[in-house]
A and B are shown apart, each in its own frame.
Chain A
Amino acid sequence: MIEALIENVRGIGRRTIDRVWRMGVAAHFFVLVFLHSGPSFRRFHLIIREIFSAGVLSLIIILVSGLFVGMVLGLQGYETLQTYGAEESLGVLVSLSLVRELGPVVAALLFASRAGSAITAEIGLMKATEQIAAMEMMAVDPIARVVAPRFWGAVISMPLLAALFSAMGVLGGYLVGVVLIGVDAGSFWSQMQAAVDFKEDVLNGVIKSVVFGVAITIIALFEGYDAPPTAEGVSRATTRTVVTSSLAILGLDFVLTAFMFRGV
């Protein structure tokens, strides 16, 4: 009885130590990526290649989702605002919710599942097929050659994708609100411009998306680099990437929002 209890407590302790140890390794990995970023900037085509696979290939899902999220916001917002006779504020509702929250967060969630999982699977497979060990044998630093370009490629892509998401969303809201339902176009845009502040809203949204980009990419890279070199290990690491980075995005979003929009 006592023995079983002690064994349980020991299990909790072991798991805690494992988690903390893993976080330490991840932080060390993060610092290493920064320290080894120099060569990838000198060979910028490596980063361009990664911007292509992380950013350009995510364009379609981001643009289409942005458009539909904006259109749904337009419909739902109109339904509610109409009750108060304030349907001219539709532009404000659509643009503020997109620029402040939905743009960065939903784009980051899509990015995590579209590009983050691809990064993890790619690096995990490279490790499983011993390509990374081969690089080390040839005295090529795998962090500088494989990891750092992917990091910067994804970090550069993320804010651009979030901005495109928000812009498409506003256009979607315009399509539904003004073109379809018939809210006055002048007050739609003018109320939006009066309410949305560049520094307070747009810039903070961009900052959010940069932070999310760093978080997603470092999680994806670390999970891939740390994955057991088996088929099962890579598949688990990919799943963990999506789950962990989605949770990280939502948690970070709360913290950032609490700092940015406190009492403004």
Chain B
Amino acid sequence: MQRATLDLWVGIFVVAGIVAVLFLALKVGNLGGFDNSETYEIRASFQNIGGLKARAPVKSAGVVVGRVAEIGFDSKSYEASVTLKLDARYPFPRDSSASIMTSGLLGEQYISLDAGGEEKMLVNGDTLKITQGAVVLENLIGQFLYNKNDSQTDSAEPVQ
């Protein structure tokens, strides 16, 4: 085969391969999300993070405004310390509160950020004061059974 034709075909092949990698990175993967825009980091301590994982979304009013950057354990307070990376386009008041929610009944866990009313905004390195940890399904079921047991004995007493 002619050298020029060969070069053309190989060129087409290589370009198509690179386009495929880019397609996987940009359209299928999450590259080009928040990673290249400016962010600021804030910290929050939770009593229990449940199944929260790094890179989980941080949502406010259902809109993704950032991601969980790091999850650590504070050995002094015995709490989980979570670092959140928020998009710099979205400033939040200093008395905002964070809570860990589950999308759907069995879905992935994310952090919900509820804006407060203070005039001062959060800056890089701040810590959120009001937090609410994850709801652990087992505890809930345990509580429910316990309560149910209680109410049964309550209602049973007048009969006797």
Contact = CB atoms under 8 A, between A and B. Distances in A.
B13 A163 contact: no
A201 interface: yes
B24 A99 contact: yes
What is the interface of chain B mostly: helix, strand, loop, or mixed? helix
Contacts of A163: 17, 20-21, 24
B10 A55 contact: yes
A167 B29 contact: no
Contact of A166 (B1, B3, B20): B20
A183 B115 CA distance: 34
Chain A's interface size range is: 20 to 34
A196 B13 contact: no
B103 to A, nearest CB: 10
B10 A202 contact: no
A164 to B, nearest CB: 5
A167 B24 contact: yes
B112 to A, nearest CB: 16
Given A160-B13, A160-B20, A166-B20, A48 B28 contact: no
A196 B30 contact: yes
A95 B21 CA distance: 13
Contact of A201 (B1, B13, B20, B29): B29
A45 B17 contact: no
Contact of A192 (B13, B14, B28, B57): B28
A167 B16 CA distance: 10
A-B complex: 3 closest residue pairs judged by Cβ atoms: A160-B17, A167-B20, A163-B20
Interface of B: 1, 3, 6-7, 9-10, 12-14, 16-21, 23-25, 27-31, 33, 55, 57
15 contacts: A51-B10, A51-B13, A51-B14, A55-B10, A157-B13, A160-B14, A161-B17, A166-B28, A167-B23, A170-B28, A192-B28, A194-B30, A196-B24, A196-B28, A202-B25
Given A56-B12, A157-B13, A206-B21, 9 more contacts: A48-B10, A51-B13, A160-B21, A167-B19, A167-B28, A189-B27, A193-B27, A196-B28, A201-B29
